[in-house]
Structure 1
Amino acid sequence: MLNPLSVQINSERLWTSLEALGQIGADEQGGITRLSLTDEELTGRQFVMSLMADAGLEVRQDEAGNLIGVLAGEDPDAAVIATGSHIDTVIQGGRFDGALGVLAGIEVLRTIKEQGIRHARSLEVICFTDEEGVRFGAGYLGSRAMSGGWDDQWLELKDANGFSLKEVMENAGVSPGTVALASRSRQSIQAYVELHIEQGRVLEALGTSVGIATAIYGHCWLEVTVRGRADHAGTTPMKLRQDPLTATAAQLLAIEQIAVEHGGVATIGTLKLAPGAINVIPGEVVYSVDLRHEEAEKLLQMEIAIREALTGIVEEKSLSLSIIATDSAPPVRSSQMIMDTLAESCRINELPEHYMVCGAGHDAVAMNELTDIGLILVRSRDGISHHPLEWSSPEDCEAGANVLLHTLIKLSIESNK
């Protein structure tokens, strides 16, 4: 009888699939743009479904557009063990973010099936709809729907070209009116384990391939609008100006300082001026703020402090201010039982056990509302992510996938309904 501990994934097959998916949405600069539910991402979905079918999995799409590949277990009534991630990207992103978790999940289930490893619980690999939130300003849409957190108001969100989420879902063959039916019960999924690149430099500094996440930062996204008065750049004296950009400059420094004081992180990812001409004092500035922290209370305190600081700055300059929270997710803690299993899997693969906090958000955040979660992180070269230079070596991807393999095997062997 085959010893499950001796099994390894087919690293060449995994790398080939990563390269193939990386060509979908690729540009001449080496970046990949597969925004959620665009033609490029839909083409990527077809590729993922074909891989699932080739792996011998039962393939279906749920009401939220999540793609699910199932490897049936011996106990059809037992809660399943799930893995997965996403294939949508940021603009000019990299080939590993999200994609590694989906493709490694397929490879792991394929290996288990090929090697005839018996397992009581069914195994699922899930390719979630719109994790990044780039196109419509709200992320984790598919995993939120699965975990019971869907909000029909999201259907009215629009992308940069004026298309609503409702419209693009219809175009993709997803019925907007039934998305909430993708929700699953806590009794249906025993555990969710995600494999993802680190998107940071911690593992590289340690010289190790794989890390075990103990927690994932929560986030709060804000859209800030500062309004003043647009005037001629030459005829308006400095003392008569109502320039929202100078106030914004002070606000950005305040945001940075508040993040440092609270032990969190804050990022201004977008900034737009109107009317946006070289010889016109802007009348309006709109920018985004991405706040993150591993503790829910401190994340809230950071948001409150920033709102107060921004308000005080515009009042001093007699400007108007609007702050809208566009998206948020609480910090989550990994399951101790799953972390213990991940540690055992690291030992099987002769890898050190390194525990760390994950600063990037993943579908595991939403799935934590539904079941116990675990997160495996794979080393990122120079910590670069959301960029064409994003890179994880074939050896590191293989190491992470093998940790996932042995974790899923152990979690699925016994049903214990």
Structure 2
Amino acid sequence: MTRRGLLGVESDLVATAARRVMARCDELARVSAIRGSIERVYLSPEHARVNRLAAEWMREIGMTTRQDAAGNQLGRIAPVSGEPDAPALLLGSHLDTVPDAGRFDGIVGVLMALEVVRLLRVPGDEAARTGLPFALEVIAFSDEEGTRFGKALLGSSAVSGSWNDDWWTLTDAEGTSLREAFLDFGLDPGRVGEAARRPAELVGYLEAHIEQGPQLDRRGESLAVVSSIASARRFQLTVEGEARHAGGTPYDMRHDALLGASEAALAVERICRGEHHVIGTVGQLEAFPGAVNIVPGEAQLSLDLRGEFDGERDRVWLAIERELDTIMGRRGLRWRAREVHSAPAVFCAPLLQDVVREGILSTLPDGADDPAILFSPAGHDGMAIGAITDVGMLFLRNPHGISHHPDEAVSTADVALGIRALAEAVLQLAADR
């Protein structure tokens, strides 16, 4: 027998909601800049199309809609009091993608949020209200991934009031600046500050998201409470050696920058594999001048470093620095690092962790163990939103843990459990308040 929750709706309604989410994931997957794969980037025609679809689905369940000054799509439904300026609980995720993406990362969280609103709306209420003491808002963030301009969380940064005017000069692969793209999309760069929300306007932020790893799949569990979002630092590393003739230069005279960079990448793996919840990845490696018959005189590589705690992450970076000094010294090379991104860990609020936990428990049979508590090594919009309100997250099982890839997956059954758990979490929060 499943624990009794507060939702009080038939399981077939939740199952229907889950099937609708999966069908709409398929529909959104067809909105892509590239035929045969999924790619939707910030301020593109595809961005505009999915915002229109999301707005249509929001209005279908009685929400008032608007696109904010940064291109995020929002819907709102009033609380039981009907008070127009009541603070809101924000639900949602993002609709933009990486290149050659899967169809669930971010998208499933927006669509599940809409189904939660559908379930919690007072039946037959022409004024379109919920029975809650706070308003509900669903937000479809516009640029979580940072695919087009190389800067992630642009949409949520605008909402959190942390927009940086230095970003206006960022350019995409075609040379279009962020400012120009705003204008082409029909947005006014001078009004981006209007997207910012005040803490007093919000009750909190809850997001459902597929796990972007295999932990739930390995545990054989459908849902988990998220404890925190990983801290992150990213670096561009440059290794300098000496470019010389590949045939005429003996090994004892070579200062091969590519070999030094390759050894550095292996050192990152070795150091991070020995750590708990610190992950290092070298995702890019390029040699210069790049000719088949020249010993590389320079190599550039990226380093993405993530950790559950800022201190652990920074301690690992210091260990990597020491090891690179040793490698480059032994090979007669020089190296330098330029930090291009830094974000602290964001911890989910204890109250929101509790209500998510209660929501998941409502989906489990009596006597089942408590749900898993996982930290998220991947970044999310909650990292920005945490600056203005409490953040909570729910993970859904992702078979085989594949994400940012066409093979990422989630089952209809797990989506149904997630919808019920998220709705129960909202009701638990309302009861607590």
**Quick check: TM above 0.5?**
yes
Q: Distance in 2 between matches of 1:145 and 1:314?
A: 41
- Is 2:86 the counterpart of 1:78? yes
Out of 132, 136, 159, the position equivalent to 2:145 is 132
Shift of 1:408: 2.1
Q: Distance in 1 between matches of 2:286 and 2:186?
A: 34
Shift of 1:58: 1.1
Corresponding letter in the other structure for 1:108:
V
- Structure 1 window deviating more from structure 2 (261-270 vs 378-387): it is 261-270
The answer for the alignment partner of 2:420 in structure 1 is 402
Corresponding letter in the other structure for 1:375:
M
Aligned CA distance change for structure 1 residues 229 and 174 (closer, same or farther; 3 Å): farther
Aligned CA distance change for structure 1 residues 281 and 136 (closer, same or farther; 3 Å): farther
Q: Distance in 2 between matches of 1:100 and 1:409?
A: 21
The answer for the alignment partner of 2:115 in structure 1 is 107
Instruction: Write out per-residue CA displacement over residues 155-205 of structure 1, whole angstroms, 9 at most, x where no aligned residue.
Output: 222233333222222222232333233222221111110000001111111
Q: Distance in 1 between matches of 2:67 and 2:224?
A: 31
Instruction: Write out per-residue CA displacement over residues 327-359 of structure 1, whole angstroms, 9 at most, x where no aligned residue.
Output: 222112212211221122223223652222222
Q: Distance in 1 between matches of 2:122 and 2:257?
A: 62
Shift of 1:234: 2.5
The answer for the alignment partner of 2:68 in structure 1 is 62
Report the 3-state secondary structure (helix = DSSP H, G, I; strand = E; otherwise coil) of the residue aligned with 2:419. Answer: helix
The answer for the alignment partner of 1:237 in structure 2 is 250
The answer for the alignment partner of 2:30 in structure 1 is 23
Q: Distance in 2 between matches of 1:4 and 1:239?
A: 73
- Is 2:301 the counterpart of 1:301? no
Aligned CA distance change for structure 1 residues 293 and 390 (closer, same or farther; 3 Å): same
Mapping of 1:133-172 within 5 angstroms? 133-172=146-185
Out of 32, 36, 39, the position equivalent to 1:33 is 39
Matched-pair identity in %: 35
Out of 344, 352, 356, the position equivalent to 1:338 is 352
Shift of 1:318: 4.3
Shift of 1:378: 0.4
Shift of 1:22: 1.4
Q: Distance in 1 between matches of 2:279 and 2:428?
A: 36
Shift of 1:279: 2.8
Q: Distance in 1 between matches of 2:40 and 2:357?
A: 34
Q: Distance in 2 between matches of 1:253 and 1:141?
A: 33
Q: Distance in 1 between matches of 2:347 and 2:406?
A: 30
Determine if contact 2:305/2:313 at 8 Å carries over to the other structure: yes
Determine if contact 1:272/1:287 at 8 Å carries over to the other structure: yes
- Is 2:197 the counterpart of 1:190? no
Unaligned runs of 5+ in 2: 1-5
Out of 50, 55, 69, the position equivalent to 1:49 is 55
Determine if contact 1:79/1:189 at 8 Å carries over to the other structure: yes
Q: Distance in 2 between matches of 1:275 and 1:27?
A: 32
The answer for the alignment partner of 2:299 in structure 1 is 285
Shift of 1:290: 1.0
Determine if contact 1:139/1:327 at 8 Å carries over to the other structure: no
Determine if contact 1:104/1:401 at 8 Å carries over to the other structure: yes
The answer for the alignment partner of 1:391 in structure 2 is 409
Q: Distance in 1 between matches of 2:204 and 2:255?
A: 55
- Is 2:262 the counterpart of 1:249? yes
TM-score, length basis structure 2:
0.88
Aligned CA distance change for structure 1 residues 379 and 172 (closer, same or farther; 3 Å): same
Q: Distance in 1 between matches of 2:301 and 2:194?
A: 35
Shift of 1:107: 2.1
Q: Distance in 2 between matches of 1:278 and 1:55?
A: 61
Corresponding letter in the other structure for 1:6:
V
Determine if contact 2:122/2:131 at 8 Å carries over to the other structure: no
Shift of 1:99: 0.5
Q: Distance in 2 between matches of 1:155 and 1:232?
A: 43
Determine if contact 2:7/2:423 at 8 Å carries over to the other structure: no
Q: CA RMSD in A?
A: 2.3
- Structure 1 window deviating more from structure 2 (233-242 vs 82-91): it is 233-242
Unaligned runs of 5+ in 1: none
Report the 3-state secondary structure (helix = DSSP H, G, I; strand = E; otherwise coil) of the residue aligned with 1:221. Answer: strand
Alignment length (residue pairs): 412
Corresponding letter in the other structure for 2:376:
C
- Is 2:369 the counterpart of 1:362? no
Q: Distance in 1 between matches of 2:298 and 2:175?
A: 21
Corresponding letter in the other structure for 2:373:
Y
Corresponding letter in the other structure for 2:199:
R
Shift of 1:98: 0.5
